[in-house]
Structure formats: structure tokens, C-alpha cells
Amino acid sequence: MIGASVERLDVLIVGAGLSGIGAGHYVQAECPWASYAIFEARDAIGGTWDLFRYPGVRSDSDMFTLGYSFRPWDSAQAIADGSWILQYIKDTAAAEGIDGHIRFRHRIVAADWSTDDACWHVTAERTDTREIVELTAGFLFSCSGYYRYDHGYTPDFPGTERFRGTIVHPQAWPEDLDYAGKRVVVIGSGATAVTLVPALADKAGHVTMLQRSPSYIVSVPGKDPVADLLRRTLPRGKSDTAVRWFKALLTQGVYQLSRRRPELVKRLLKAGQRRQLPKGYDVDTHFTPTYGPWDQRLCAVPDGDLFKAISAGTASIVTDRITTFTETGVLLESGAELEADIVVTATGLELLFLGGIELSVDGDPVDVSTKLTYKGMMLEDVPNLAIAVGYTNASWTLKCDLTCQYVSRLLNHMHRTGLRQCTPVNHDTALERQPLLGLTSGYVQRSVHKFPKQGSRFPWQVHQSYLRDYRALKRSSIHDDAMVFSNTVPAEEPVAAAAS
């Protein structure tokens, strides 16, 4: 039972990043009856956009869809610097007073759903004092992102202890790192590497992108001409919606074309690369992956900045494997050696589901890897828990916005009816369980076994499609065969809840 002194919230949001601030907006705008707080492990708003400080850090999807639908991105710049995105999140939080609901330096470490009490018993740890804080919450909304904050992923490269230069991971970029005039090797070929290389090339002596295998890289306009035209010709409210839909549908169109006509997309990508690289450049070796477009995330470079740096000779790409670090650089399997003053290991993130929170239901630990996801936002047999997870093939916020609106509908329904519990339950015995994420990228494959599963049919399938989710989350009823509403307010409890 709940002790008298334990704080009770209607909604507890985990994380004050892009999603957590969005969730705060929807809870206070759509469910004004609900008390809520955002628990944030760090001492800053912004999550990803506060943590990552490497040179050139930016979005790689457009801000018209990465921004919130309720606060449209109002710059013409479609691809934005990390510092602008951080400011946008902070401004949103301040404008709506969401920042006043944040409890900084509080990491949620465990949550146990109590059916008797119809609430989560939550344990938080203060990250500054290690003090344990207990509280309860009617609904838990995890906006904790998808990766570890304390360190990124670095493979075990032999010989690093011999290297006399500096080794840096982009997730922990030293503020005072001086790379002017230096020889820099960036290991990796993903979004971070292709962002870093042209940004470092501005000041470094030379930057080499050392990749084991290439990624698909496409140039996108930093300012979108169609979005610009829509913004100039339509009235403000209409243009925001039109631009958002245009960008969402365009991204999805490119994704669908890549899945259905991979050979055509490969040819188009290659032709674009050839146009922007010096004549005779070895596109086949350095820009042609062995997998199909969108088997892994497509990397976008604004206004071809990577191709420009290669053409200018300030950056180059080497496709090879590392044998060992040496005192002065890295020795490759081909026998070549790359001399370096600084090596940047842009080797990725370490994925983490649910911010590492230990979940249990009535004292029984929940092994999330055995659970199905419901509509890509809740977990099978776990009551009153939603998770903000975005798309891997489009802007994160497109999905999180839909999730937040759906959660508001669930909360309002429970509040109106006095039913305090909503639990997705699978009755379909023929349903097949499949991995949650279809991407073949190393960082996904390393961790996907720890993630929940998706089912072979609605509502357990994860679509990675804004259009389908728009129907499933915005247009459809919150009542279906899987969702069980239960746990009425006991008769003796005078219900503030049922009042509205």
C-alpha cells in the first residue's frame, strides 16, 4: 500500500529530450486534470542535442518533420545545427512552462506496477547525491531515447595503448580539442562520420574517413526549395501543415522506392555521387555498399558538403580494415599505414531500451525481450506504460507526436470512466514474433535481442510508416480486441477522477 508521504503523480515522463518535452506539451494541453513531472537523469534539457557537441553536429532529417507539429520549425533551414535544435527544445519548454515540471539529476531506475494500488511504484536515484527517491505514478511515459548516455560503442582495436596521438569518441568530444592543422582519421561511415569529416576538414590539415565498408550517401538541400515555396505562397498555418506532410510523404516515398526498386535507387544515388566527385573517382569502392538502400539508414549530407571536401582535397576516404594502431597512426590490412595526430572513433552508439529501467508487474520482473510492442508504443501485458520511439527511416518526432496524442486519449478515457488500468493483451495464438527493428546495421544487430518483439499483424506490428501510423494512432479508436481497460476506482474512494 502507498505510504502517506509518498508523492503521487498522474503521469511520470522519463527524460527531458525532444520527446519528453513533446510529451509534457501534450499532457498539459490535452489532460489539464493530470499532475505530471519529467524526471531527467542529466542536469540539462535536450537529451541528444545537448549531449553531442562534436564539430558540425546537425540533424540529418529535415526539421519540418523533426520539429513538433504544435510548434512548427520556422527557419528556412531544413537541416539544422545541433545548437539550434537544442535552443528550439529549450524555447518550447520555456514558452509553455514545461521546464518548471522537470526534476533534473533524477534517474528512474525501477518501476513496479501494483494492480491493487493501480499505479507504478517508482524508484529514482539522484545522480548527484545517490539519494533514493520513491514515488508513485498512475501512468509511466518513457521518453528515454534509445541509447546509453555514459559511453558510445568502440570496438576493441588492437594497439590503441601504443598510439601517441589522441583518440576521441564523438559522444564525449573534448571542448578544448585543437584539431587545426592536424592529421585526423575518422573511423566509421555512418551519419556521425559523414557529418564530422567535412566539418573537421575546414580547419584540420587533412581528414581521412577510414571505413570498413561504405554506406549509401545522398546529398540533400540544406534549404528545401519546395518547402520554401510552400512557405512563401500559403498562409502560415496552412503552409506549416503542407510542408510537414510534403516532407513526411517525400521521405516515405523515397523509402518505398528503395525497397521496391533497389537497383534503380542505387543507380540514381551513384549518378548523383559521380556528378559531385572529381572525374575518375572510385565510387564503386568508396560509395557502393554490399547491401540494398535502406537495409541500413541512408546518410544525408547537406548540399553535398562531404563531396565538396573530397573534391577540394581536404578530406579523403580509405576503404580498408584496421590491423592495429601504431605509435603514429593505424596500420591497415592492405599494408598501408595512415598517419594521424587524432583518431575519432565514429563507431556508433550502444543501444539501451527504456533508459535501463527495471520493470516489474506486481513484483514479477518483466523481460522486455519476450514482450510484443502494441502499436509501436506500449508493451504486451504491461499496464499504463507508453514508450516514445521514433522512426528509423523518417524523423523521430513524426511518430512521437502521434504516440503523445494517443497517450492523451488513453489518459482522458481512463479519467472519464474511472477505469484506472489499460493493458495490451495478445489473444492471437497464431501471431508470429519478429525482431523489432529490420535494419541490418551493426549497432542494431548487436542489441536487437534485448529489445521487445513485433508481431506479424496489427496492432502488434511496427510499421515504420507515418501514413499507416497516422491511421492506427490518430484516426482509429483506442478500443480494440487487444486493449483491456480495467481496475475501476473502488466505490469507497470518492473519485476526483470521474468528475470530468
Q: Which is nearer to ligand FAD, 190 or 293 (CB)?
A: 190
Among 26, 48, 141, 399, binds ligand FAD (CB under 6 A): 48
User: Candidates 236-244, 327-335, 351-359, 483-491 — which segment interacts with ligand FAD by CB under 6 A?
Assistant: 351-359
Q: Which is nearer to ligand FAD, 357 or 437 (CB)?
A: 357
User: Candidates 11-19, 29-37, 286-294, 450-458 — which segment interacts with ligand FAD by CB under 6 A?
Assistant: 11-19
Pick from 102, 97, 78: nearest CA to 25: 97
Determine, following the binding rule CB under 6 A, whether residue 61 of this chain makes contact with ligand FAD: yes
Among 12, 13, 14, 193, binds ligand FAD (CB under 6 A): 14
The binding track of 186-205 with respect to ligand FAD, each residue x by CB under 6 A or -, is ------x-------------
User: Candidates 178-186, 257-265, 349-357, 408-416 — which segment interacts with ligand FAD by CB under 6 A?
Assistant: 349-357
CB burial of 89-115 (b: ≥16 within 10 Å; e: otherwise) equals bbebbeebebbebbebbbbbbbbbbbe
Q: Which is nearer to ligand FAD, 41 or 359 (CB)?
A: 41
Write down the least CB distance from residue 151 to ligand FAD, Å: 13
Listed in sequence order, the residues at least 6 apart from 356 whose beta carbon sits closer than 8 Å to its beta carbon are 109, 148
Write down the least CB distance from residue 25 to ligand FAD, Å: 13
Determine, following the binding rule CB under 6 A, whether residue 395 of this chain makes contact with ligand FAD: yes
Question: At what angle are helices 82-95 and 18-30 packed, to 10 degrees?
Answer: 20
Cα(283)–Cα(277) distance, integer angstroms: 9
Write down the least CB distance from residue 497 to ligand FAD, Å: 27
Q: Which is nearer to ligand FAD, 286 or 297 (CB)?
A: 297
Q: Which is nearer to ligand FAD, 85 or 201 (CB)?
A: 85
Write down the least CB distance from residue 333 to ligand FAD, Å: 29
Determine, following the binding rule CB under 6 A, whether residue 390 of this chain makes contact with ligand FAD: yes
Write down the least CB distance from residue 22 to ligand FAD, Å: 8
The binding track of 125-164 with respect to ligand FAD, each residue x by CB under 6 A or -, is ------------------xxx---x---------------
Q: Which is nearer to ligand FAD, 337 or 358 (CB)?
A: 358
Q: Which is nearer to ligand FAD, 10 or 62 (CB)?
A: 62
Of residues 397-416, those binding ligand FAD (CB under 6 A): none
Among 13, 78, 108, 230, binds ligand FAD (CB under 6 A): 108
Write down the least CB distance from residue 55 to ligand FAD, Å: 12
Measured over all CA atoms, what is the biggest interatomic distance in the chain, rounded to whole angstroms?
A: 81
Question: At what angle are helices 262-276 and 305-312 packed, to 10 degrees?
Answer: 40
Q: Which is nearer to ligand FAD, 61 or 487 (CB)?
A: 61
Write down the least CB distance from residue 402 to ligand FAD, Å: 14
Determine, following the binding rule CB under 6 A, whether residue 59 of this chain makes contact with ligand FAD: yes
Q: Which is nearer to ligand FAD, 31 or 110 (CB)?
A: 110
Among 25, 90, 101, 107, binds ligand FAD (CB under 6 A): 107
Kindly list the residues in this chain that would bind ligand FAD in the complex (CB under 6 A): 14-20, 39-42, 47-48, 52, 57, 59-61, 66, 107-108, 143-145, 149, 192, 355-357, 388, 390, 395-396
